[in-house]
């Protein structure tokens, strides 16, 4: 499973997140057009290699959870549940091993009272093994 798919599986298995927002409302890359809130979009930014060794390489990958809900309290609850589930976690996926997933930033805006926008940025340290 890709890193994003693994994160969706972790979301589904969490005791709190599915009660706040089912995983079918979590999209990777972008949400389909005309999709109404509540929803979360997981956006992966290009990673950068920070170390190469004879055993593999370490990549730093930025992941942004874009939370869109009807109320500020719903968005805040989702942001907190994200932190409880994902912050400072390590796990394996098909791309390698995530040695550390940590929250780096939490941006909250309120362009309209009925449109809170939380962008929660995480940084993943992904270790890819040399397979050849």
Residues in contact with 123: Cβ distance below 8 Å, sequence separation at least 6, in sequence order = 60, 61, 62, 63, 101, 102, 104
Domains in the chain: ranges and CATH:
3-129 (3.30.2000.10)
Where do the H-state alpha helices sit in the chain?
Answer: 3-13, 17-20, 72-86
In tens, the pLDDT along 57-115 reads 999 999 999 999 999 999 999 999 999 999 999 999 999 999 999 999 888 887 777 78
pLDDT digits (tens, 9 = 90+) for 15-72: 999 999 999 999 999 999 999 999 999 999 978 888 888 778 999 999 999 999 999 9
pTM of the full structure:
0.89
């Amino acid at each position: 499973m890709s890193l994003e798919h693994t994160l969706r599986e972790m979301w589904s298995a969490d005791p709190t997140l599915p009660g706040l927002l089912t995983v079918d409302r979590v999209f990777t890359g972008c949400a389909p057009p005309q999709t109404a809130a509540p929803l979360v979009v997981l956006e992966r930014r290009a990673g950068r290699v920070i170390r190469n060794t004879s055993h593999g390489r370490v990549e730093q990958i930025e992941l942004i959870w874009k939370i869109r809900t009807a109320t500020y309290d719903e968005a805040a609850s989702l942001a907190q549940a994200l932190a409880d589930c994902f912050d400072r976690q390590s796990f394996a996926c098909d791309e390698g091993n995530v040695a550390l997933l940590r929250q780096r930033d939490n941006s909250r805006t309120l362009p309209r009272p009925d449109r809170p926008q939380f962008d929660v940025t995480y940084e993943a340290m992904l270790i890819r093994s040399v397979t050849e």
